[in-house]
C-alpha cells in the first residue's frame, strides 16, 4: 500500500516534468536540428536564408528537427505547443511559420501562424509538404526538402507582409563591433559603480533598458555569423537574446497548416 | 474636554476615509481583474465559434464531392447533413451561452455529434480510391483536418482562459466581490470521448 502511494506520487511529479522537458527553450537561431541530420554548413545556410528573409519581410520561419515525438503527445499538439513557446512572427501580425520534422517517426508538420493562414491555407501547406518536401525527406535529404519547401512558403508569406525590420535595433548593430563592446562594458561598470556608491537610487535613474534591447539584436547577429569564440565573451548576451529574438513576445498559431508522413 | 472630542471625531473620520479608500481600491482592482479575465474568456469563445463556423462552412462542399463518388453511402452522408443542420442554429450564439451551462452543454453535444458523423464519413471514404484521388477532395480533406485541429487548439485555449477566470473569482476574498457583482463561474469543454487527445500509437 505504501509502495503504491509512493509510485503514485512519483508519477505525479514525473509526468509534468517529462512533459515540460519535451519542449526545448526558445532558440537563438532559425534552424534547430536536434536530430543531427544537417551538416553545420547546411544549418548555417538555412539560418542565413531565414535570417535575411525575416530582415527583409518580418516573416519569421523556424525549423525544428527532432528524432522522435515525445510520449503522450501527438504531432499537431506538439507543433502548436512549440509554436506557443517559440512564438515565431511579430506579436501583432502573427506572421510566423514553424516547420517540425520527426526523422524517426517519419512525420512532419508545417504550422502556420494566424496572420498567414489566408496566404498559406491548409491545402496549400499540405501540397508543399507532400509535393516539395517529403520526396526529399524520403531519401533522408532534409536540407533540400526544406529548401524546396521554403521556396514556396517564403514567397507566399512575402505576398502578405513585407515589413523590413529596420528599426529593430538593426541600425545600431551596424556600428563597429569593438567600439560597441567597449561602450557596453563601460556602461555596465558605470552602472555597477553607481549602485555601489549611491545605493538604491542609482537603480532607478540608470535602468539599463536600452542596453538589453540592443543586446538582443547584437547577440543574434553574431550567432548567424557563427563566430563562437566571441559568443563566449558575451556570455549573458545569449540569455538576453533568448527572449529578444524578435523583441520578446511573438506571434501565435491556431492550429493552421498541414501534417504529413512518409 | 471639547478639544479632545473634536480630535477624536477628526481621527475617526480620517480612519473611516482611509478604510473607505482602501476598500474602494481593493474592490476596484478585483473588479477590473475579473473584467479582464472575462473578456479573455469571451475572446477565446469567439475563436471557438469561428473555427466551428469554419467547419460548418466546409461541409456542404465536402458532401457534394463525396456524393459524386460514393452514392451508396447515403446514410453516412445523411447523418453528416443532419448533424450539420442541428449545429447550424447553434453557431454564433454569442458569449451569453457561457452563463447558461445547459445551453453550453447543448452546444457541445451538437458539435460533438457532428464530429463523430464526420469521422464516420472519413472512415467510409477510405473505400473509394477514385474519390481519394480527386484533388478537390484532397484539398477538402486537408481543410477538414486543419479545422478539426484548430477546434482542438481553440477549445484548449478557451479552457485555459476559463480556468484562469474561474480560479480568480473563486478565491478568497475575491469570491465575495465576484458574487456581489454577479460574476459566475463559466463552463469548460469536456474532452470528446475518443476523438480528442487520444495519443496515436506508434510502432
Q: Report, in angstroms and rounded to the nearest whole number, the Rg of chain A calculated over CA atoms.
A: 21
Residues of A in contact with B202 (CB under 8 A): 69, 105
Q: Does B164 touch chain A if contact means CB atoms closer than 8 Å?
A: no
* Alpha-carbon torsion (A204, A167, A95, A160), positive or negative: positive
SS3 of residue B168 by DSSP: helix
User: Which residues of chain B make contact with A69, given a CB cutoff of 8 A?
Assistant: 202
Test B142 with A256 for CB contact under 8 angstroms: no
| Alpha-carbon gap, residue B161 to B36, rounded angstroms | 11
Question: B113 Cβ partners below 8 Å, 6+ apart?
Answer: B83, B86, B87
Q: What pLDDT does B55 receive?
A: 92
Task: Give the ranges where chain B is alpha helix by DSSP (H).
Answer: 2-69, 74-88, 101-124, 129-133, 135-170, 174-180
Q: Kind and range of the H or E element at A99?
A: strand A96-102
- In a mutagenesis test of the B interface, which of A109, A254, A256, A258 is the best target, namely the one with the most B β-carbons within 10 Å? A254
Extract the residue ranges of chain A whose pLDDT is less than 70. 1-21, 166-181, 193-248
The whole-angstrom distance between B14's CA and the closest CA on chain A is: 33
The pairing of beta strand A60-66 with beta strand A107-113? unpaired
Strands (E), A47-88: 60-66
φ, ψ dihedrals at A76, nearest 5°: -65, -40
- Give pLDDT, residue A225: 36
Q: Where do runs of H (alpha helix) occur along A87-225?
A: 122-127, 134-138, 142-158, 177-198, 200-205, 209-225
Q: Which three cell numbers mark B189?
A: 469543454
Q: How close A123 gets to chain B, by Cα (Å)?
A: 5
**Of the candidates B43, B48, B120, which has an alpha carbon nearest to the alpha carbon of residue B81?**
B120
Nearest to A122 among B142, B151, B197 (CB): B142
CA B112/CA B119 separation, integer angstroms: 10
Residue in A109, A108, A100, A110 with CA at minimum distance from that of residue A22 = A100
Q: What is the pTM of this model?
A: 0.71
* pLDDT, tens digit (0-9, with 9 covering 90-100), for A48-97: 999 999 999 999 999 999 999 998 889 999 999 999 999 999 998 999 99
What spatial distance separates the first Cα and last Cα of chain A, rounded to whole Å?
Answer: 47
Strand partners, A256: A112
Task: Please name the residue that has the C-alpha cell 556600428.
Answer: A175
Residue numbers in B near A74 (CB within 8 A): 197, 199-200
Percent of chain B at pLDDT exceeding 70: 92
Q: Give B98-128 pLDDT, tens digit per residue.
A: 988 888 998 999 999 999 999 999 998 888 9
For residue B162, give the H/E element and its range.
Answer: helix B135-170
Indicate whether this complex's ipTM tops 0.85: no
Minimal Cα distance from A117: which residue of B?
Answer: B146
Count helices and strands in chain A by DSSP H and E runs: 11, 5
Put simply, the chain B residues between 130 and 149 with a CB less than 8 A from any chain A CB are 138-140, 142-143, 145-147, 149
Residues of A in contact with B137 (CB under 8 A): none
Asked if A255 and B150 come within 8 Å (Cβ–Cβ), the reply is: yes
Strands A253-261 and A107-113: antiparallel
Q: How many CB atoms lie within 10 A of CB A101?
A: 23
Instruction: Verify whether the Cβ–Cβ distance B149 to A69 is below 8 Å.
Output: no
Which one of B50, B54, B153 would you mutate to disrupt binding with A, by most A Cβ within 10 Å of its Cβ? B153
Task: Look at A259 and B138 and tell me if their CB atoms are within 8 Å.
Answer: no
A81: its cell numbers: 505547443
CB-based contact B150 A256, cutoff 8 Å: yes
* Three-class SS state of B160: helix
CA distance A74 to A62: 19
Between CA B145 and CA A89 the distance in angstroms is 24
Q: In a 3-state reduction of DSSP, which class is residue B128? A: coil
A vs B: CB pairs below 8 A? 51
Phi, psi of A159 (to 5 degrees): -60, -20
pLDDT tens sequence for chain B (203 residues) = 578 889 999 999 999 999 999 999 999 999 999 999 999 999 999 999 999 999 999 999 999 999 888 878 888 898 999 999 888 766 557 788 898 888 899 899 999 999 999 999 999 888 899 998 898 998 898 889 889 999 999 999 999 999 999 999 999 989 999 999 999 999 999 876 544 444 343 33
Cβ-in-10-Å burial (0-12, 13-18, 19+) of B43 comes to middle
What is the spatial distance between Cα A184 and Cα A214, in angstroms, rounded to a whole number? 10
Query: What integer pLDDT is reported at residue A175 of this predicted model?
Result: 46
User: How many whole angstroms separate alpha carbon B45 and alpha carbon B159?
Assistant: 9
The conformation of residue A26, written as its DSSP 8-state character, comes to P
Residue B31 CB-half CA count within 13 A: 10
What are the backbone dihedrals phi and psi of residue B25, each rounded to the nearest 5 degrees, phi first?
A: -65, -45
Structure confidence at residue B46 (pLDDT): 92
Let me know if A245 is exposed, middle or buried by CB neighbors in 10 A (0-12, 13-18, 19+): buried
Residues of B numbered 111-130 whose beta carbons fall under 8 angstroms of chain A's beta carbons: which are they? none
Residue given cell 530582415 in the structure block: A55
C-alpha–C-alpha distance, residues B122 and A254, integer Å: 23
Amino acid at each position: 500500500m505504501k509502495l503504491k502511494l509512493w509510485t503514485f506520487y512519483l508519477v505525479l511529479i514525473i509526468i509534468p516534468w517529462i512533459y515540460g522537458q519535451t519542449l526545448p527553450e526558445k532558440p537563438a537561431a532559425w534552424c534547430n536540428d536536434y536530430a543531427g541530420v544537417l551538416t553545420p554548413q547546411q544549418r548555417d545556410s538555412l539560418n542565413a536564408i531565414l535570417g535575411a528573409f525575416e530582415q527583409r519581410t518580418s516573416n519569421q520561419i523556424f525549423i525544428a528537427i527532432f528524432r522522435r515525438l515525445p510520449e503522450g503527445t501527438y504531432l499537431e499538439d506538439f507543433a502548436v505547443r512549440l509554436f506557443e513557446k517559440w512564438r515565431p512572427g511579430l506579436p501583432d501580425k502573427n506572421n510566423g511559420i514553424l516547420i517540425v520534422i520527426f526523422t524517426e517517426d517519419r512525420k512532419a508538420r508545417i504550422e502556420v501562424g494566424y496572420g498567414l493562414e489566408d496566404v498559406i491555407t491548409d491545402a496549400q501547406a499540405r501540397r508543399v509538404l507532400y509535393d516539395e518536401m517529403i520526396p526529399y525527406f524520403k531519401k533522408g535529404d532534409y536540407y533540400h526538402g526544406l529548401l524546396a519547401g521554403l521556396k514556396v512558403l517564403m514567397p507566399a508569406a512575402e505576398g502578405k507582409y513585407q515589413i523590413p525590420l529596420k528599426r529593430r535595433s538593426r541600425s545600431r548593430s551596424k556600428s563597429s563591433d569593438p567600439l560597441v563592446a567597449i561602450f557596453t562594458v563601460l556602461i555596465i561598470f558605470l552602472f555597477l559603480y553607481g549602485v555601489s556608491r549611491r545605493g538604491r537610487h542609482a537603480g532607478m535613474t540608470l535602468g539599463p533598458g536600452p542596453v538589453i534591447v540592443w543586446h538582443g539584436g547584437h547577440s543574434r547577429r553574431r550567432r548567424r555569423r557563427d563566430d563562437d569564440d566571441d559568443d563566449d565573451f558575451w556570455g549573458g548576451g545569449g540569455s538576453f537574446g533568448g527572449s529578444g529574438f524578435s523583441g520578446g513576445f511573438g506571434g501565435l498559431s491556431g492550429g493552421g497548416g498541414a501534417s504529413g508522413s512518409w | 474636554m471639547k478639544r479632545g472630542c473634536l480630535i477624536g471625531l477628526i481621527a475617526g473620520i480620517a480612519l473611516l476615509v482611509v478604510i473607505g479608500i482602501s476598500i474602494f481600491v481593493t474592490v476596484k482592482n478585483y473588479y477590473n481583474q475579473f473584467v479582464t479575465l472575462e473578456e479573455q474568456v469571451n475572446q477565446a469563445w469567439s475563436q471557438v465559434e469561428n473555427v466551428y463556423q469554419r467547419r460548418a462552412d466546409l461541409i456542404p462542399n465536402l458532401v457534394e464531392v463525396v456524393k459524386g463518388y460514393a452514392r451508396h453511402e447515403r446514410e453516412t452522408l445523411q447523418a453528416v447533413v443532419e448533424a450539420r443542420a442541428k449545429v447550424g442554429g447553434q453557431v454564433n450564439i454569442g458569449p451569453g451561452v457561457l452563463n447558461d451551462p445547459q445551453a453550453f452543454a447543448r452546444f457541445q453535444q451538437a458539435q460533438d455529434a457532428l464530429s463523430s458523423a464526420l469521422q464516420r464519413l472519413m472512415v467510409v471514404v477510405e473505400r473509394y480510391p477514385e474519390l481519394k484521388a480527386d484533388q478537390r477532395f484532397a484539398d477538402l480533406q486537408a481543410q477538414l483536418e486543419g479545422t478539426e485541429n484548430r477546434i482542438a487548439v481553440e477549445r484548449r485555449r478557451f479552457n485555459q482562459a476559463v480556468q484562469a477566470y474561474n480560479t480568480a473569482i473563486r478565491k478568497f476574498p475575491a469570491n465575495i466581490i465576484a458574487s456581489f457583482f454577479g460574476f459566475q463561474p463559466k463552463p469548460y469543454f469536456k474532452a470528446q470521448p475518443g476523438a480528442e487527445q487520444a495519443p496515436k500509437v506508434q510502432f
